[in-house]
Chains A and B, each alone.
Chain A
């Protein structure tokens, strides 16, 4: 089982719809969770992070965390064509020598069509 799993997609939604991106992780010691957006040929850009159970909202983005289910999601409201990108879920595991790194999923390709 991969440490961080995402549906690779592609996920296609119409403009104005809600895009829902999901991520599961295997290590119960995972502490912090990050969503990065990566346009083709570009560097990952941090858009959300969350470390407490529940929802965290920032503009059109909402991150949801359920540690009991080892599940984190990203909702994008009012999706725009400019949101079309690969979304990377990343997890930080607490403690030990891994305290300095994030483990990434393989990414979900999102396409928002007009």
Chain B
């Protein structure tokens, strides 16, 4: 029973390039969340998606960042024109249902983005 799958594990980009991070939720999960973890900092919420819908993007930077979760295929976090400050670990998480009282969030192994 595969968990949350993220790829690539490591991604190196030069300033100005685009980064695409992929996430496939756990089987049976239709809710996807993206978090960013900067060095020496905690996890910061970025965006919450359901199939074909962005539910909450209050944590997303206003420019260069976008996310989607199409009807078919993985969720994609896209960062255009990357800058060094985008270097971080990006974690995807999924849940089976809305985070009701006893619903749990499960994390993927993350993508470490390094911007040169």
- Which residues of A are in contact with B by a Cβ distance under 8 Å? 31-32, 34, 36, 42-46, 49, 51, 88, 90, 92, 97-107
Contact = CB atoms under 8 A, between A and B. Distances in A.
Contacts of B108: 43
Interface string B86-104: 0000010000001101101
B43 interface: yes
Nearest to A93: B99
B110 A31 contact: no
15 contacts: A43-B91, A43-B108, A43-B109, A43-B110, A46-B105, A49-B102, A100-B56, A100-B99, A101-B48, A101-B99, A104-B42, A104-B43, A104-B45, A106-B41, A107-B42
Given A98-B58, A100-B56, A102-B105, 18 more contacts: A34-B104, A43-B107, A43-B109, A43-B110, A44-B43, A44-B107, A45-B107, A46-B105, A49-B102, A88-B42, A90-B43, A90-B105, A100-B33, A100-B48, A100-B55, A102-B45, A102-B99, A104-B42
